[in-house]
Amino acid sequence: MITENVNLAGRSYPIFIGDNAFGFMACQMRDTAKSRRLVCVADSAVCAAYPDRVRELSQLMPIIEIPAGEKSKSVEMFGQLCSKLAALGIDRKSALLAMGGGVIGDLAGFVAAAYMRGIDFYQIPTTLLAMVDSSVGGKTAVNIPEGKNLVGAFHQPKGVFMDTEFLGTLPKREFAAGMAELIKCSLINDAEFFGELESLETPLCAGHPFLSKALAKACAMKARVVSADECETASSGGRALLNLGHTFGHAVEKCAGYGNVLHGEAVSQGIVMCMMYSRRLGLISDAEIGRVESLLEKNSLPIRPSCPLDAAAMLDSMFHDKKTRSGKLRLVLLRGIGKAFEQDGDPDLARKTIDEFIGR
């Protein structure tokens, strides 16, 4: 098993990565359960796929199953969960475990942040996206009709248990979507990691010998960035760098209609547009763009529009992105592979970039 650490003074925590992380977690929780009440909030699809693991956990704590899917990340579900915790006698000293993908991690994390003004929680991510992205860093949220993740809190977990065996049942399309975030991590500041992904004979998949190492590299990168800028307040170059591909990507997601394009598929298209924009500024070569596009394609990710897109609507939605600062477009761009930076965006250039992408 590999261990990485997120260093945040009194709120530092470990990330355990490997094919035995679940067993290790169960062992730790067996001890913890002797002195504190525990509760697990779990994705219903994960419970159905892993009855033995659910049985093992249920000997230690009650398990609250949540219907799979983004719809569960709602204020209503948040309220219901808080009521269930109260009914179970969960108190300030108790701890909550979140077992599932980003939906469960975000929802249960937000419940843990708010219930009794904050209780401890642990992440047990079961999707690739949750492993490389959402389970680390402490961002928790639910959606409201006005927008995704508009209500939330920063609340760091006490530990993250990343068991790669879960990925064996993850649908291929979901795995590919997680790969977009993993490739993004390498593009931000780790050209060597990008080279390693590029040189793999077969692309990463469940059971791949490089999988745990790749997860560890992505988590180490995220941990460094989060340790330096936990609440994304740095004026430039901090946690916002993790948004590489996201401003264009969110515009794709919104125009496609939420749910029609997976987040990672939109990020892949967003990364391509970031590179096109960077090329217009003379920052990145055709050869480097070609390398990134071929890695994305090799991992079953789209590098062309995967559905009809409207350029004007996309640009408009980019101005309403959460990342916009005082009405200004903010973009993460690339000076090359492993060299991301942030700057104000030019709306004309952004429009030309979207037109170029749509015209592919």
Ligand X SMILES: NC(=O)c1ccc[n+]([C@@H]2O[C@H](COP(=O)([O-])OP(=O)(O)OC[C@H]3O[C@@H](n4cnc5c(N)ncnc54)[C@H](O)[C@@H]3O)[C@@H](O)[C@H]2O)c1
- Pair 186, 149: CB distance under 8 Å: no
From the list 94-102, 230-238, 275-283, 330-338, the region that binds ligand X by CB under 6 A is: 94-102
- Pair 249, 180: CB distance under 8 Å: no
Which residues within the stretch 164-183 sit at the binding site for ligand X (CB under 6 A)? Answer: 166, 169-170, 174
Number of Cα atoms under 13 Å in the Cβ half of residue 340: 26
How far from the centroid of its chain's Cα atoms is residue 37's Cα? Answer: 28
Burial of 88 (0-12, 13-18, 19+ CB in 10 A): middle
Q: In angstroms, rounded to a whole number, what is the distance separating the alpha carbons of residues 149 and 107?
A: 10
Instruction: Considering the complex, state which of residue 127 and residue 269 has its C-beta at the smaller distance from ligand X.
Output: 127
Q: For residue 175, what are its two tokens?
A: 């795995």
Catalytic center residues: 117, 139, 181, 222, 232, 239, 243, 246, 250, 263
Residue nearest to ligand X (CB): 102
Instruction: Considering the complex, state which of residue 144 and residue 281 has its C-beta at the smaller distance from ligand X.
Output: 144
CB 349, min distance to ligand X, A: 27
Instruction: Considering the complex, state which of residue 126 and residue 317 has its C-beta at the smaller distance from ligand X.
Output: 126
- Pair 4, 220: CB distance under 8 Å: yes
Instruction: Considering the complex, state which of residue 264 and residue 311 has its C-beta at the smaller distance from ligand X.
Output: 264
Burial of 349 (0-12, 13-18, 19+ CB in 10 A): middle
Gyration radius from the chain CA atoms: 20
- Pair 127, 98: CB distance under 8 Å: no
| Residue matched to tokens 């991690």 | 105
CB 283, min distance to ligand X, A: 26
CB 262, min distance to ligand X, A: 7
Out of 18, 101, 249, 305, the residue judged to bind ligand X by CB under 6 A: 101
Cβ contacts of residue 290 below 8 Å, gap of 6+?
A: none
Q: For residue 118, what are its two tokens?
A: 């904050």
Residue window 13-52: x/- pattern of binding to ligand X, with contact defined by CB under 6 A:
------------------------------x-xx--x---
Instruction: Considering the complex, state which of residue 185 and residue 289 has its C-beta at the smaller distance from ligand X.
Output: 185
CB 280, min distance to ligand X, A: 28
Out of 7, 55, 58, 69, the residue judged to bind ligand X by CB under 6 A: 69
Instruction: Considering the complex, state which of residue 126 and residue 268 has its C-beta at the smaller distance from ligand X.
Output: 126
Other beta carbons within 10 angstroms of residue 197's beta carbon come to 21
Residue window 73-92: x/- pattern of binding to ligand X, with contact defined by CB under 6 A:
x-------------------
CB 43, min distance to ligand X, A: 5
99's enclosing H/E stretch is strand 95-100
Query: Does position 270 bind ligand X by CB under 6 A?
Result: no
From the list 10-18, 26-34, 95-103, 153-161, the region that binds ligand X by CB under 6 A is: 95-103
Query: Does position 157 bind ligand X by CB under 6 A?
Result: no
Out of 112, 130, 275, 333, the residue judged to bind ligand X by CB under 6 A: 130
Please, what is the Cα angle at 224 between 220 and 228, to 5 degrees?
Answer: 165
Out of 70, 232, 293, 356, the residue judged to bind ligand X by CB under 6 A: 70
Instruction: Considering the complex, state which of residue 263 and residue 330 has its C-beta at the smaller distance from ligand X.
Output: 263
- Pair 153, 113: CB distance under 8 Å: yes
Out of 134, 278, 317, 353, the residue judged to bind ligand X by CB under 6 A: 134
Q: For residue 199, what are its two tokens?
A: 């040189």
The residue type found at 31 is: D
Nearest to 187 by CA among 288, 308, 265, 95: 288
Residues at the interface with ligand X (CB under 6 A):
43, 45-46, 49, 68-70, 73, 100-104, 106, 126-127, 129-130, 133-134, 137, 139, 148-149, 166, 169-170, 174, 263
